[in-house]
Amino acid sequence: MTPPWGFTGPEFLGLYAAGFAVAVLLGLAVRQAARRFYPAADTGFMPDVYTIAWVVGGARQVVSTALYALIQDGHLRTARDGTLTFCGSVPDEPMQRAVLEAARARESTNTTLVHEAARRLPEIRRAGGTARGLGLPPSRIRRLAGRMAGLPMLVLFGVGVARVVNGVRLGRPVGWLVTFLLVSLVVAAVFVCTPPRITPAGWYAVRNAGRSGYPVPWGPAGDGPTVSAPVLTVATAGWITISDPTLRSSLFSSGSSSSSSSSSV
């Protein structure tokens, strides 16, 4: 009996495995080629803390950074359940002042409500605009190019599906090929759903934030005081890095519920 498509089952599985390896290599090559068009890191300039926070986690990370700075400086007080209370003083720093005004909409609020209110502030949008102007996050076109890395695997997946349909119609065993298809689909999803979020210049800024010779300023002017180490750590890594377990629990648990509605790069 002539095998379907001129290949026996084991022969086709061998060809599919070879095609899988080629598709992975092509996907990695496409992803790497897209990175080559990103702007190179500027070793002579360090973005301000809110630009870095926006690159790492979008509007949510910017608000988290400002909130933590407000708490550190005594402008807000937090309870174990995540409730935030205004302490009466107003900071000079513009981003903190804007986030504080969002928190002061009521006498007592929590980080979830502050995130929802503050992420629409013009100061947040300016931080994103500064990051995009510096080439720290990829543009939409470049993100789309990154997603195209999954195209070779999707083509291979389509060929495999056609073989399965043909095999089922002919009453041939297709169990191993179905397993290969599931693995291929997972790999394709990883390529398509995880486009580059940060350019090499952006990673350079995040990695070097706070290192000797790269003091991070509060604002884009760069002529004011530099950011303290704890606040900078929250900007680059989030609430989870806060050393105080009570503060970390109250802020992280309360704020995490709004993560699905927050902006991202």
Same domain membership, residue 214 and residue 133: yes
Contact 58, 263 (CB under 8 A): yes
Structure tokens at 203: 């990673």
Between 220 and 227, the higher pLDDT residue: 227
Same domain membership, residue 93 and residue 222: yes
Between 79 and 228, the higher pLDDT residue: 228
- Residues of the chain with pLDDT > 90, as a percent, come to 40
pLDDT at 263 over 60: no
User: What is the domain range of residue 215?
Assistant: 49-138+206-259
Between 77 and 179, the higher pLDDT residue: 179
Name the domain count of the chain. 2
pTM for the whole thing? 0.74
Task: Confirm whether 94 is domain-assigned.
Answer: yes
Cα 118 vs. chain centroid, distance in angstroms? 19
Exposed, middle or buried, 9 (CB in 10 Å: 0-12/13-18/19+)? middle
Same domain membership, residue 64 and residue 18: no
Same domain membership, residue 217 and residue 152: no
Q: What is the pLDDT of residues 116-168, one digit of tens each?
A: 888 789 999 999 999 988 888 888 888 888 899 999 999 999 999 999 999 99
Same domain membership, residue 74 and residue 115: yes
